[in-house]
Structure 1
Amino acid sequence: MSSPVSTDFADGLATGLGAYGDRPFIEFARKWYSGNEITQFIEQVSVALREAGVEPDEPVGIVVRNRVAHAAVILGFVASRRPVVMIYSYQSATAIARDTESLGLPAILADIDDWTPELNGAVRAAGSAGISLSGERLGVGVIAARQPGSRHDRALEQSGLHILTSGTTGPPKRIPVATKVLAHTVLSMTIGAGTEVVGPDAPPALVYWPFGSIGVCQLLAAPCSGKRMVLLEKFSVPEWVQAIKTYRITRAGVQPAILRMLLQADVPPEDLASLEGLSGGSGPLEPELRAEFESRYGIPLLWAYGATEFAGSVCSWTPELYRRYGADKPDSVGRTLPGVRVRIVDPDTAAEVPAGRIGLLEARVEVIGPDWVRTTDLASIDEDGFVTLHGRGDGAINRGGFKILPETVRRVLISHPSVLDACVVGVPDARLGAVPFAAVELRRDAVTPTEAELKDLVREALPSHHVPVAVAVVDALPRNAALKVRPGDVAALYRP
């Protein structure tokens, strides 16, 4: 079948959804659902919304989970141009209710497991319709009818997805991704596949990134190529590996934490033998981790760089680029994608800097608009056009006038043979303003290093002001649903 992204995105997606028919489309919890089952469920939800007093073009909120009912309604709403507003499910019932009431949307959809007394109360206080989504049988029910007087923010009426940032450095923010922009989102998700076979006979896509964030592009990418998908509610090594082995999957997405988890679990190379490449992002890939993984499994890691504000990636490796340049540029996140421009500017003057010089990365995505968007990421572009990241400018710790980049200290800590991963954050200090504090997660069965040993490692590699005031050894670094480390939770471990 032709790719829906080649025409109007919503119309193309609707055509793609309708093309599955009786063929398998989504596997969830080891059960396959046909295309007809998915499209029939989408229609059931649309009927329930109409009966609850919600018009077809009005925005709805979804307390979103990576379950088959949620996948179906997201696809159906995008295809019909209904605005979709994401609400994270992995927060307390009180927080979900607070978010729901403040949004004041015409309707809220939530899994039957999430219809708590708090959510019920919030929906009624906001006058929103309430729709329940349930289980293996793809059931739908009306919890509450809509009350007159919608009071939602009119900015939420833009068709497309209103997704959430990961919230690693503060409360999550909603970012609108218009329907027309979703073609770029899907491109950024699929460019690492190169010339991979698509269509119903191809190995299925493996979908597990949280739907509430930019990870929802994994969901959209599958029907855009006519592929089946295996949907996981959340990432786990056994389930992920089982899907790879069962369906001989050739391409999948990862991030650094997942690579470490696969290495830590000592997954046999033959279990991943079908993989021809792994696309990655969501954090920097250290050359040491790349070398360890590729040496063990022989699978190329095609890294990318992007942000929620860019509706996906702005630069990436492709299989062809990696074959030509990968060995010479192991630190790079590839070249810019079609329809994207990237430049590096001086933080103080905003002037563009020469090739090879480090500055702040700015990007312009044609389909989003003409404005350059400045990030807080330090980067450089070499003469061949390859982008390399050098840490975050906004995360710098000012220790009595000495600037410390946390990533610089982290790189030293993870060089210790016992350390699997590390996070370095600034914590308040009455005399110096801020000082670095570190937490480390150890490899399986590793000998536990002493705090003094880890401090000495940093002291030997970097100027003395980089040495953390304390280093905590933890069973596991605190992470959000996207497996990103939460710096705020790491800082809370510090005991002066």
Structure 2
Amino acid sequence: MGIRDRLSRLLSEAAADAEAIEHQGEWWTWGQVQKTARQVTDALDAAGLDAGARVGVVLENRPEHVAVVAAVIASGRCLVMLSPLQPAARLAADIARCRPPVVVSGAEPLAREGVSAAVTAHGAALELGPDGTLEHVGGTAPADAPANPGVAVEMLTSGTTGPPKRVHLRTRQLDQALVSGGQIPKSERLLSSSASLVAAPLVHIGGLWRALGCLATGRRMILMPKFAVEPWVRAVETHRLRAASLVPAAIRSVLDAGVPKERLASLQVVTSGTAPCPAELADAFFRTYGIPVLMTYGATEFAGAVVGWTLPLHDRWWQRKAGSAGRAFDGVELRVTGDDGTELPVGRTGRLEVRTEQSTRGGRAWTRTSDLARIDADRFVWIEGRADDTIIRGGFKVQPETVKRVLESHPAVREAAVAGLPDTRLGEVPVAAVEIEPHQPAPEPAELTALCRSRLTPYEVPAHIVVLDALPRTPSSKVSRVELLGLVRDRLGQKEEQR
């Protein structure tokens, strides 16, 4: 049974008094989920949006938003992801660019400057209350709005450059991704008494995949607004969870917090994806808690993970293969190619390519990723960097060009450069250097940081900004990122000495 049919059954057959989603200590029952889903479906029907129609959702980590996701996918419509993590101007521009005929949103994002106007300029705005009620607050859905038949989700990739990039995920991709990840429902049972924790943003593929995994298998969902150590530990302890997921930065946070071993005693495994998890970090967690960390590798284009570790693999191979991303999941083929597209021999590093039904291109075509990797003789995959310059900060992708443009909007900045500085907790953090226009007073780094905070998502804001008379350059006049990072380290060292 695929995810669409599974959601349809849950919304019509699940016991109304059964626990569905816990959020901040309060339970939503399946009856509440079903009531909200009916309101959504009725509103979309009334707007004349048939199967395949696009429905924008400003998706927050809240139970009523999960009900909207279930209703849209179950009805055969296309869920268009809109991120509440974006500042007002970028959210409004995203809505104006993709022009969904209907946008469902909580009150707070709609109240941001320019957002409601962007919605109603091309469609209808439906305000979703915290109790799951839905209210039409302006605009009209156009009768001739283009549909996207066969596509379940227009998924946002994080940290896009320029116009937000959307990956079109078809229902079969979601179905295959759930099967590959072990999220297989039991046909004889609609609901399960077990529970799973969802702490990643639903608007990103990691959070959405985990939420759909809960729904597909009928497990109760423990939905966190965002990750924080104590609430996460409390959820594990309270619900006696046997498995949980943590990005590397969160693994580091749990270790740094000195969480007592007994509070995590129920956990048998922790999975880790989104960003590469250093072997020494996974080992430290295993030594401290006796809990294996199983790495995974995937991408939005694959609707989740395509490579990973299992417990049997960990037991047999970890001592020899620590640091690997694992092996290809069932139904996934991998190869490594050179710059000319020729497949490279075993053990050689090149561009990783994937062939799977999880791909947006289907199961017959190879998809070339932006990751550099090698595959050893035992079929373990080793990710060795990126072919592009994306910075991965605690699992969130930051495009340097996006940050660069904001810094260069300051009247005193002639040119900016952005690079990733290695960080023990987050993997990398963006740092920047700016070259000042001649005869202009140099802005303080704090002023530039404030500018970034007003225009960027929190994880895109540079951790450090250096103001220079001239940026370091290579003989070809390109900015030298190696020298830039050296300058930042020098400045940080000077600050430490002055303390």
Q: Secondary structure at the match of 2:479?
A: strand
Structural mapping, 1:71-110, within 5 Å = 71-110=66-105
- How do residues 49-198 of structure 1 correspond to structure 2 at under 5 angstroms? 49-55=44-50, 57-116=52-111, 118-126=114-122, 128-135=123-130, 137-152=131-146, 154=147, 156-167=148-159, 172-190=164-182
Does structure 2 retain, via aligned residues, the 8 Å contact 1:54–1:129? no
Rate the CA distance shift 1:393–1:56 in 2: closer, same or farther, 3 A: closer
- Residues 375 and 19 (structure 1), Cα distance of their counterparts in 2 relative to 1, 3 Å cut: same
Q: Residue 227 in 1 paired to residue 219 in 2?
A: yes
> How far 1:424 sits from its partner (Å)?
7.1
Cα separation, 2, equivalents of 1:316 and 1:17: 32
Q: Kindly report which structure 2 residues correspond to 1:213-224, keeping only aligned pairs within 5 A, or say none.
A: 213-215=204-206, 216-224=208-216
Among 351, 357, 371, which residue is 1:360 paired with?
A: 351
2:463 corresponds in structure 1 to none
SS at match of 1:37: helix
Residue 16 of structure 1 contacts residue 224 of structure 1 at CA under 8 Å; is this kept in 2?
Answer: no
Report what 2:314 is aligned to. 322
Number of the residue aligned with 1:436? 481
SS in 2 for 1:167: coil
2:27 to 21, 32, 35: 32
Aligned equivalents of 2:491 and 2:254: distance in 1?
Answer: 21
Question: 1:391-427 deviations in whole A, cap 9, x for unaligned?
Answer: 1122399xxxxxxxx89x84xx74xxxx775447797
Report the CA distance between 1:389 and its aligned residue: 0.9
Does structure 1 conserve the Cα–Cα contact (< 8 Å) formed by 2:94 and 2:164?
no
Residues 1:382 and 2:382 are matched in the alignment: no
Tell me how far apart the structure 2 counterparts of residues 371 and 327 of structure 1 sit (CA, whole Å). Answer: 35
Q: Could you tell me which amino acid in structure 2 is paired with residue 142 of structure 1?
A: H
Distance 1:267 1:390, change over 3 A: same
Q: Secondary structure at the match of 2:480?
A: strand
Indicate yes or no: 2:388 matched with 1:394.
yes
| Aligned mates of 2:249, 2:160 — CA distance in 1 | 15
CA contact (8 A) 2:472 2:484 kept: no
Pairing 1:288-367 to 2, within 5 Å after superposition = 288-346=280-338, 348-367=339-358
Secondary structure of the structure 2 residue equivalent to 1:266? coil
TM (norm. structure 1) is: 0.77
CA deviation after TM superposition for structure 1 residue 168, in Å = 6.5
Which secondary structure state, in structure 2, belongs to the residue aligned with residue 65 of structure 1?
coil
The answer for unaligned runs of 5 or more in structure 1 is 1-6, 398-405, 438-464, 475-496
TM-score (ref. length: structure 2): 0.77
Deviation at 1:279, TM superposition (A): 0.9
Map of 1:470 onto structure 2: 488
Letter in 2 for 1:241: V
CA contact 2:248–2:427 (8 Å) conserved in 1 = no
Q: Which amino acid aligns with 1:311?
A: A
User: What is the CA–CA distance in structure 1 between the aligned matches of 2:315 and 2:344, rounded to whole Å?
Assistant: 29
Instruction: Give distance in 2, aligned partners of 1:395 and 1:306.
Output: 18
The CA distance in 2 between the partners of 1:171 and 1:357, in whole Å, is 35
| Change in CA separation of 1:201 and 1:374 when aligned onto 2, cut-off 3 Å | closer
Give the equivalent residue in structure 2 for 1:453.
none
Q: How many residues align?
A: 418
Q: Which amino acid aligns with 2:473?
A: A
Q: Note the C-alpha offset of 1:206.
A: 0.4
Q: What secondary structure sits across from 2:323 in the alignment? A: coil
In structure 2, the partner of 1:445 is: none
2:468 alignment partner in structure 1: none
The answer to whether the 8 A contact 1:210-1:234 is kept is: yes
C-alpha displacement at 1:150, in angstroms? 4.0
Q: Is the 8 A contact 2:57 2:79 kept in 1?
A: yes
Q: Distance in 1 between matches of 2:57 and 2:268?
A: 35
Change (3 A) 1:162 1:467: closer
Q: Percent identity among equivalent residues?
A: 34
Query: Within 1, Cα distance between the matches of 2:132 and 2:323?
Result: 45
> Where do residues 245-264 of structure 1 align in structure 2 (5 Å cutoff)?
245-264=237-256
Contact 1:98 1:122 in 2 (8 A): yes
Question: What CA distance in whole angstroms lies between the structure 2 residues aligned with 1:18 and 1:396?
Answer: 43
Letter in structure 2 aligned against 1:471: R
Read off the aligned partner of 1:279 and give its amino acid letter. Answer: T
**1:60–1:420 distance in 2 versus 1, CA, 3 Å:** closer
Q: Structure 1's 263 and 174: CA in aligned 2 closer, same or farther, altered over 3 A?
A: same
Q: Residue 430 of structure 1 aligns to which amino acid in structure 2?
A: R
Aligned counterparts of 1:467 and 1:118: Cα–Cα separation in 2: 37
2:128 corresponds to which letter in structure 1?
A: L
Give the direction of change, closer, same or farther, for the CA distance of 1:171–1:298 in structure 2 (3 Å limit).
Answer: farther
Please, what is the CA RMSD of the aligned residues?
2.9
Alignment check: 8 A CA contact 2:473 2:480 kept? no
Aligned residue number for residue 267 of structure 1: 259
The offset of 1:171, in angstroms, is 5.8
Aligned partner of residue 177 in structure 2, secondary structure: helix
- Partner amino acid for 2:29? S
With over 3 angstroms needed to count, the CA separation of the structure-2 counterparts of 1:273 and 1:168, relative to structure 1, is: farther
CA 1:316 to 1:98, structure 2 compared with 1: closer, same or farther past 3 Å?
same
For the residue of structure 2 that corresponds to 1:218, the secondary structure is helix
8 Å contact 2:177–2:358 — kept in the other structure? no
Q: Compared with structure 1, are the counterparts of its residues 134 and 420 closer, same or farther at alpha carbon in structure 2 (3 Å cutoff)?
A: closer
Alignment-mate amino acid for residue 77 of structure 2? R
The answer (yes or no) to whether the contact 2:41–2:71 under 8 Å persists in 1 is no
- Amino acid of the residue matched to residue 378 of structure 2? D
